[in-house]
Structure 1
């Protein structure tokens, strides 16, 4: 961020407890509740908002307005955002960008999802799929056409890592067990039962030798929101400015996503690397400076390969990183203290804002039983196939 642009502060965050499909309120009520909580946390009236970016995947056009009209009808610009599983952080990116470039001083980023049970699938079967080229590559590299789409993609990426580096299935099980221990401390998480590594290994196999059922995140309903403001607006209105966005980057696919014929790159390894390089360069730090990370663990396999793509450990070093406990409390960097997508849940449009909620609480020192001691620098990684990857670096800012 250059000195000529406005510093962007997270003034308020809100999130509702994630739930199973059919057990949550309809999306307008979930989204409106998250917005009200974010405004209350910021100490702001809805009328102060100048723009809003609403993210969701499975709803009709202008669903963002449908949610926000529950809170107020002030005539502000409302933009609806859909970027697959990176939708929430894409809304956050646009809200930050609006403030940083001076278009607005107080902007809402909102994400919500009302999901159906079962595996993800396409909705519009009468027209070309965004995944056509990706599906062909996955069919060529892994086959397994009888498995659900996302499982083939991320299971295939995990299998590529196993074949390349000798990574054992137990490494993925360890990630899921860690997620359960973290989620047990999070009252907003969907799955809060602690699991052992053996529990995860003993779960039904979805892909023999590659993935058990517990290594996949559950379909989830939920909502989360953040109010972003310029530092000047915060000062004028007496708002908190102690959590700031120090850097942010968004990447999409490059030719090597398909041209390298590597399943890890098909699912966004290269996008993650590219966005990470940009964020570290913008902030003038490296991965060794991070205290806490919320990363996109839609499958345990993606968490493992993301450690390497983000530079948390060397390429091929993820299994050793896990075995040393460097991904949890007492280790080098606490990953997914919320429980992550694996245990907290993954309502697609809400996930990126839920990550923002968690990291804001961590940097404020308000994460209670899951607090990472002394957390000052936090990284958010949110990934969507098809594709998009958004990385956001937050820093705790203490007034002198």
Structure 2
């Protein structure tokens, strides 16, 4: 069976750019976004008029944010589409860019995520249904309950879960684009203020602002434009789905991750054991343990043990959240998923500096968003 992602001579990431994630500031979103876009264009060696289309992932800025921002690069007449899908907004913007390139609609497409800290109003709070509990729709409460169940079923303690934050803060400390740039000890993570259940502040992601951008090109454009093929990373899979009814509390999120990741691995025609890099949604520390099992980089029930053995560290079997993840790098929503793509691209190129995971050939970027939705992308070195 043919793989649509291989149409148009393949889909490639040719350029990446970031504005560092940061705490809320007076910086205009246009400055955040254009910093990332200009860096991605320079990285790809392309000029703005060569871009055919743009997808803008954002959640909190307002209507037509993309066009308002991009006109400062010049009014070239390109199509601009704004994408909102909660935490997965940037990931879905990237997916739309890949689909447009693969289908031959365009040869050069920009996917950019940008956000400022907005009012955080969610559709789930406006659906017109009474709640049994005022905290029923609060993510920290939900994941704290899932964490308590996870630790009990795995026979693990709160310290083993907190090690996720220790690892990811350590990775973020070496990432110049991360919101948190300070390593944390286990004692510091456990002693930070309690949020809910066993989750402490340093085990929860911060909200802030920032931007990430990638330039997606077809294989045909790669040759025609004379781009440096050695620095172009190939997109091998792109899949998305939404949740199904859960059989037990919290099961829907895990099943959603499992289904989307499995579909992406099948599309890429590789087993999970082939992944060298995995960037995933760790808004709360327990998620990394749950999702590493669901995606299949470790066996069911082995998430905590996998972490404690060092298998998920940079230099281990599969570097999980080498960027620092949402906990360390930050989670400005719109840019987060595209920032994952930028991190994997940087790693596959061998350009991650002292965060480099040696010999990386395959990576997955996986995001979920409230609603709930999931999206997964598999990337590889062009020669893999």
**TM-fit CA distance, 1:330:** 3.2
Residue among 179, 186, 193 paired with 1:204: 193
Q: How many residues align?
A: 379
RMSD: 2.0
Q: How do residues 133-282 of structure 1 correspond to structure 2 at under 5 angstroms? A: 145=134, 149-208=138-197, 210-241=198-229, 242-256=232-246, 260-265=247-252, 268-282=253-267
1:360 shift after superposition: 0.6
Q: Is the 2:89–2:334 contact (alpha carbons within 8 Å) kept by the matching residues of 1?
A: yes
Deviates more, 1:3-12 or 1:103-112: 3-12
Q: Partners in 1 of 2:122 and 2:355 — Cα distance?
A: 38
1-structure distance, mates of 2:42, 2:67: 20
Q: How does 1:53-68 map to 2 (within 5 A)?
A: 53-68=55-70
1:74 to 54, 73, 76: 76
Q: Does 237-246 or 341-350 show the bigger shift? A: 237-246
Q: Is the 8 A contact 2:60 2:115 kept in 1?
A: yes
Contact map agreement 1:6 1:101 (CA 8 A) in 2: no
Distance across 2 between alignment mates of 1:126 and 1:280: 34
The 8 Å contact of residues 223 and 350 in structure 1, kept in 2 or not, is answered as yes
Q: State how far apart, in whole Å, the 1-side matches of 2:242 and 2:178 are.
A: 29
Offset of residue 196 of structure 1: 0.9
For residue 96 of structure 1, what is the aligned residue in structure 2?
Answer: 98
TM-score between both structures, scaled by the size of structure 2: 0.94
Say whether residues 1:380 and 2:365 are aligned partners: yes
Q: CA deviation at 1:255?
A: 2.5
Separation of aligned partners in 2, 1:78 and 1:162: 45
Q: For residues 325 and 381 of structure 1, do their structure 2 counterparts lie closer, same or farther at Cα, with a shift above 3 Å needed?
A: same
Structure 1 residue 148: Cα displacement: 7.8
Deviation at 1:284, TM superposition (A): 1.2
- Counterparts of 1:4 and 1:215, CA distance in 2: 41
3, 7, 11: which is aligned to 2:10? 7
How far apart, in 2, do the equivalents of 1:372 and 1:288 lie? 16
Residues 1:4 and 1:191: Cα distance change in structure 2 (over 3 Å): closer
Equivalent pair of 2:7/2:102 in contact (CA under 8 Å): no
Mapping of residues 101-116 of structure 1, within 5 Å: 101-116=103-118
Using the size of structure 1 for normalisation, the TM-score is 0.90
| Residues 1:385 and 1:124: Cα distance change in structure 2 (over 3 Å) | closer
Q: Distance in 1 between matches of 2:36 and 2:304?
A: 37
CA distance in structure 2 between the aligned counterparts of 1:5 and 1:69, rounded to whole angstroms: 29
Aligned-pair CA distance for 1:146 = 5.2
> Cα gap change, 1:176/1:104 in structure 2, threshold over 3 Å: closer, same or farther?
same
Aligned to 2:344: 359
**CA contact under 8 A between 2:34 and 2:69: conserved in structure 1?**
yes
Q: Does 1:122 align with 2:121?
A: yes
Rounded Cα–Cα distance in structure 2 between residues aligned with 1:338 and 1:371: 10
CA–CA separation in structure 2 for the residues paired with 1:28 and 1:148: 32
Match of 2:323 in 1: 338
- Equivalents in 2 of 1:314, 1:214: separation in Å? 27
For residues 209 and 315 of structure 2, the distance between their equivalents in structure 1, rounded to whole angstroms, comes to 32
- Alpha carbons 1:245, 1:394 under 8 Å: kept: yes
Distance 1:329 1:43 in 2: 30
